[in-house]
Amino acid sequence: MTAKRVVPHHVAIVMDGNGRWATRRYLPRVAGHKKGVDALRACVRHCGDIGVKVLTVFAFSSENWNRPAEEVSGLMELLAVALSREVPQLQAEGVRIHFVGDRSNLSDKVRSGLAQAEAATAGNNRLVFNICFNYGGRWDVAQAAAGLAARGETITEQSLDRAMALSHVPDPDLLIRTGGEMRISNFLLWQAAYSELYFTDKLWPEFDAAALDKAVADYGRRERRFGKTSEQVAAETGRGRKAA
């Protein structure tokens, strides 16, 4: 019997390991980030091809401002360049871009690049592509709560959820982190409550279509229980009935 492939609706990725990839080759760290853009391009395409509907990536964290100034400015520049280069192709592939994060302390150049990319792809619906840039999970919870408080709204799980930065998509089903670290690093603290976690030692520039397939296959073998028992899940899905 061939098992039906279970494709996660929403995949989130902490794209880690660019710096180490570059350093191992005696290259500047920014060269690793450039290579990371190539890996991301391929990943977006493969997600669309296998039927993932939402891809959310961590591109720059609230804490990444603490890196050397040269690396921070290199990353800002890379984002601006990558957007102007990649948007026409993403547009052709039916990808809708959203930026998720605090835009208030980004430069005008970066901010207008983000707005243009969002506007240009607003009519697409094959794949929703969320780029978390200047994002932190704690920032997200705080901005959502502050927004509700300012509007005099009651704080409930539902109202907070609606005020969060990823309210336009369901929570991630699969959360991948490359680069070998087993931590969240202030990524989707609220939304990853029930995501399946997948860690790989592969550095982000090496994460290719085969590596994504492997993560998706691993996801397909997980039993998502959401607090219930295995027996309840089996009864609901019709799986595992033969188990003693």
Residues involved in catalysis:
16, 64
What is the dihedral angle through the alpha carbons of 109, 177, 47, 137, rounded to the nearest 10 degrees?
-50
Cα(127)–Cα(89) distance, rounded to whole angstroms? 13
177 annotated to bind ligand: yes
DSSP string, 66-130: GS-HHHHHHHHHHHHHHHHHHHHHHHHTTEEEEEES--TTS-HHHHHHHHHHHHHHTT--SEEEE
The binder of ligand IPE chosen from 6, 9, 20, 189 (CB under 6 A): 20
Contact between 140 and Mg ion by CB under 5 A: the answer reads no
Contact between 64 and ligand IPE by CB under 6 A: the answer reads yes
Contact between 14 and ligand IPE by CB under 6 A: the answer reads yes
Q: Nearest-CA neighbor of 169 among 130, 215, 117, 114?
A: 130
The one segment of 3-11, 101-109, 152-160, 181-189 that binds ligand IPE by CB under 6 A: 181-189
The binder of ligand IPE chosen from 8, 16, 82, 175 (CB under 6 A): 16
Residues of this chain, 14-33, that bind Mg ion according to CB under 5 A: 16
The one segment of 10-18, 37-45, 103-111, 165-173 that binds Mg ion by CB under 5 A: 10-18
Contact between 58 and ligand IPE by CB under 6 A: the answer reads yes
Range list of H helices, the chain: 18-24, 29-50, 69-92, 108-121, 137-150, 157-163, 209-220, 230-237
Least CB distance to ligand IPE at residue 99 (A): 14
Least CB distance to ligand IPE at residue 64 (A): 5
Least CB distance to ligand IPE at residue 197 (A): 14
